Structure 1
């Protein structure tokens, strides 16, 4: 029987999503955060940005979420790699996170990764 387990979204920044990254793989379950640059009601495609990086988000499965250009959003979903190596996140969860300090978010993510690397290297007995 096939497993229908939904995986948690790995915390990543848009800077982490490049073809040589371990996160850049078909079907990877990810959690991304960025400022909404544009949104098309016709295609349900949103584009979020973080610094100079951008990512398209397919929001067709999201309900009850209103989009405002300039607001900060967080999405959890699966990464779909297009033939031209462009990534699109198929969102299953989305939320507005206005008020989140993105610089502090990046710092905390970096500290979390350092902690996890040290913990995996030196597991408690």
Structure 2
């Protein structure tokens, strides 16, 4: 696990970007709807834009969020080999590259306008590219 002194801010990404870019080792901030949660393993599955991600919530303490809630997580992406006895029937096909988010922060963002969120993220990314080109 990453030590507290070397933790980085969570880069805002979508679930599909985590999977497509194989962001293992990255600190990310991601939003998704809670599909399911298993209390025995402290694992949750979230979904956004038809992409799903396994989230390890064991560092968060009591996990009292309800399924179908829109949640935001900040944590580290790691490669992961799921144990054979997982309760999630969707794991074999849905999680081909076996990445997991080890969440250190979670919050409920029900009511967030996802369309506006996506627009704001696009504007932010455009700004970051422009800023980078100016060597800031």
Query: Normalised by the size of structure 1, how large is the TM-score?
Result: 0.86
Partner Cα distance (1:33, 1:85) in 2: 19
Deviation, 1:25, is 3.1
Matched, 1:120 2:132: yes
Matched length: 120
What residue is the counterpart of 1:99 in the other structure? Answer: 111
Query: Gaps (5+ residues) in structure 2?
Result: 82-95
Partner Cα distance (1:118, 1:4) in 2: 29
Matched, 1:56 2:57: no
Query: Gaps (5+ residues) in structure 1?
Result: none
Q: Check conservation: 1:65, 1:94, Cα contact below 8 A.
A: no
What residue is the counterpart of 2:122 in the other structure? Answer: 110
RMSD: 1.9
Partner Cα distance (1:87, 1:3) in 2: 22
Query: Normalised by the size of structure 2, how large is the TM-score?
Result: 0.80
Counting helix residues as a fraction of each chain, which structure ranks higher?
Answer: 2
Q: Deviations over 1:24-78 (max 9, x none)?
A: 2332111110111111111111111002100010000102441211100000111
Q: Check conservation: 1:61, 1:91, Cα contact below 8 A.
A: yes
3-state secondary structure, aligned to 1:17 = helix
What residue is the counterpart of 1:12 in the other structure? Answer: 13
Point out 4+ residue stretches in structure 1 off by more than 4 angstroms.
none
3-state secondary structure, aligned to 1:61 = helix
